[in-house]
Amino acid sequence: MGLTFSLFQEPWWLSAVTGDRYDEVIVNRGDQLVGRLPFVAGRRGPFKVSIMPAFTHLLGPAVDAGVGKSQTQLVRRLSITRELIDQLPPFAYFKQVVDPSISSGQAIADGLAFQDRGFRVSPQYTFQIDCQSNPASLWDGMHTKVRQHIRRAEEKCTVVALDDPNHFIHFYVNNIKKSNRVNRTDFSQFPVLFSECQTRTNGEILSAIGSNGEPVAMVFLVWGHGVMYYLLSTRAPDIGDNGSVSLLLWSAMKRAHQLNLKFDLDGVYTSGTARFLSGFGGEIRVRLIITRTHPVYRALQFAKMTFRSDETPNFT
């Protein structure tokens, strides 16, 4: 069968987003590679930690479970994944999100293996749309209000593809500032990643341009191994527009149809996000968030949060 990969587990992706500063543990059976688990090591103060690399929303183990009955493959995957976990360095904090595009049986095996080794396993939800259906069916599958917003945006905006990643960065950062929010996205590796995606025809930036020639919204899309991901989006907060992002997502769905891909809306983090994304149709899928925290690290993080809470003035 070979290793089951996702786009985010590709060596070229990991090299681009980390500046070649990623590592991995592997398992061989004879001369055959049957498992690999990429990770990034960093530090928070005196603690060694491993979190998800920038722009990498899914990771986890890549395993060749071989052939045979489903039970045989499950047992084999459990064994290989445990061997991978046992080779990880002793991190004070570890977090990865397992790719849901693999089969449910494989995802269950990964969750069980990590759970057996003392990790916490919790769900994260996403919507995935099968864009292999014809565009008319995709359009009919969307909520009426979403279609209305798209139609209105089409009257005001033109969708174009951008070839300069710095335009996206500038627009994104400026929108954060205008909204009086803190930018938590590290864009240092974004130009490299965009270049690698362009070289492999694995990604593009779409921009909704208003009648004045200025951008209203942008999205960054990436795809590979049968799935397109809605990775990043940004919208000008001072325009009073509520349909430009919907228009860009509809454009992405049509692009995914051309490429014969599924479209992953890449994570539901709040009920508001769920309401917005559910309007585009698709099925809800479950990702697995894998974490483990050393007791000392957990205690210090809790103390830090408590200290900050105690410092907050009480105006009631």
> DSSP assignment of 54-118, as one string?
TT---B--EE---SS-HHHHHHHHHHHHHHHHHTS---SEEEEEE-TTS-HHHHHHHHHHHHHTT
Sheet of 203-209, strands arranged across: 42-44, 47-50, 93-98, 283-293, 120-130, 262-264, 227-235, 215-224, 203-209, 158-162
Domain ranges of the chain: 7-125+287-311, 132-260
Same fold, 7-125+287-311 and 132-260: yes
For residue 301, give the nearest of 121, 120, 93 by alpha carbon: 93
Q: What is the pLDDT of residues 132-177, one digit of tens each?
A: 989 999 999 999 999 999 999 999 999 999 999 999 999 999 999 9
In degrees rounded to 5, what are phi and psi of residue 141? -75, -10
Contact 175, 185 (CB under 8 A): no
Question: Which CATH architecture does the domain made up of 7-125+287-311 adopt?
Answer: 3-Layer(aba) Sandwich (3.40)
- Angle among Cα 70, 73, 76 to the nearest 5 degrees reads 150
| pLDDT tens for the 316 residues of the chain, in order | 678 788 999 999 999 999 999 999 999 999 999 999 999 999 999 999 999 999 999 999 999 988 888 888 889 999 999 999 999 999 999 999 987 655 556 778 899 999 999 999 999 889 999 999 899 999 999 999 999 999 999 999 999 999 999 999 999 999 999 999 999 999 999 999 999 999 999 999 999 999 999 999 999 999 999 999 999 999 999 877 779 999 999 999 999 999 999 999 987 778 888 888 899 998 888 889 999 999 999 888 877 777 654 444 433 3
Look at the domain 132-260 and name its fold. Answer: Aminopeptidase (3.40.630)
Q: Strand order of the sheet with strand 23-29?
A: 23-29, 32-39, 62-63
Token reading at 93: 């904090």
Closest CA to 148 of 242, 218, 233: 242
What is the number of other CB atoms lying within 10 angstroms of the CB of residue 132?
Answer: 15
**pTM exceeds 0.85 for this model:** yes
Encode pLDDT of 172-216 as tens digits.
999 999 999 999 999 999 999 999 999 999 999 999 999 999 999
Residue 1 confidence (pLDDT): 61
